[in-house]
Chains A and B, each alone.
Chain A
């Protein structure tokens, strides 16, 4: 049954709160301020609660279902994160409080900056950006400012592989730079010859995702970053796929100069509608002075002391240092109000502390293991083609909704049918360079039983595609609404009721 809208449930004159009787004289609003045509729904409190609770029960999320949405790292978000983020000392802080009163929160932010720097090998980290794409914009603006600062004003191009997330070219354009698209080679890597042909003194840098969106580790990564550096460019690392390498590889060791972290992917903070997100950015030493601020730094209370010993040493009880907000010397400026999405940062901090270094490494190992297990089952037992499927994949892989004996079945039909089996569909039709792409990322938090249930469903769907294709064409059958007319919805957009 389709849940009616609040407008359908509205009944004239019905309302929730009872206003107390006036104990002051009635004073009408001045002429022109009172609307007579305010079309708000009228419902009781109970009707309203039931309406929204019913809607929430139809929601599908990581707490209810397996959600293998490729490139999104829909891992379980541990409840301990919520416990930490709801501690009164954090919840009741105000960003305008005097730093003397918020030293604890600032210590958490400082430590998170240090942890992320250690995990990635970068020299400095800003926690300001509010999402992954926001981190990308921050990173590319830093790259641009670095080139301008050293007088390389002729550099206006950013190289972007054709397998990149759509945010990469969008970020480049938003930064006032020009995109040059580079092809992939026949093993799914960035084409080295195309890279060489485009590297000159007009290039600001290269944006690279490693592992890339095909779920493949760039086999020539060291050569790629060396070539870009020799041409005077910088390498941006899109950190969206960090879950595959966290605790195993430090991006800075690969020659990456600047990278964003998606805390809502790798570091288990809520995702999408459950957000907001956070997209901290890490940089190598030579870019640290361009970071947006404020960042937390340690200040020596006795830095100006006449006593040489006091000036150069912190005492053991630690009461002669304090944490302060500072703007890096050549900062690109603020990118967000106050100090980033603080509550999200607390959750990521908690996650890192709960895992420790060995735990973080196990995340990547199990994410890669789970993806390879699923990949091989789908290849061997249901003959789904997998893009560059002869290679070992990383945390995800791109299958194709192309089944022999089922010429009319497309990826969209398979995705819709998966909903009938209780699974959130994978990412579909991305990356663009793979036909009928089904991009599957199981993450490390799923059990073998869940992976097997998903593989069994995919195998069953492949059988149905050949024997009963209409079952797929009409799917979903068990969802609250049948297949939506996405084309009509996009062509005739009605975005609000009024």
Chain B
């Protein structure tokens, strides 16, 4: 089997300009923050980012926005990164705001082969604009479309050398959903372990989903 453990530089080299990236994390907690820094170092541009939020200007993927490497963002919250709001108002960055639960389900749908999800969230608000409505048993739902991306960049607590992943506490958030919805999945892990060290019941993302592993600890 090919070795999934690669250097940070090598992992990010595979990402072309213009790529779409699912990036795990919630206010950069549980975010692949070394991979993000390497995207900046390699100057990847015109990126489409799908993430819960755009963090803060000096934190996690918020820095990608500050460095003007992002063309489009699909996210639920930009309130703590004034730079995202500034670039959005200036027309330099396209922002699609999605309710957080809807974002999670759209990514899940993308990863598990569903054609969309029906949610009551957003009915009667600006979120429903341009979307199909479906009535089931007297309740109106919005049809929300699946999200997939060229790459998923996720952060794990542990990875074994096959690529089985575990996450810790609230650092889990969007990571396991995104690991299913990226065509190529790069996992940044705090601890890299021999195969067999993570009990099957503890695995949160099975190794078959993960293409490359990098360490989150600088050597």
- Determine if chain A interacts with chain B: no
* A binding-site residues for B, Cβ under 8 Å: none
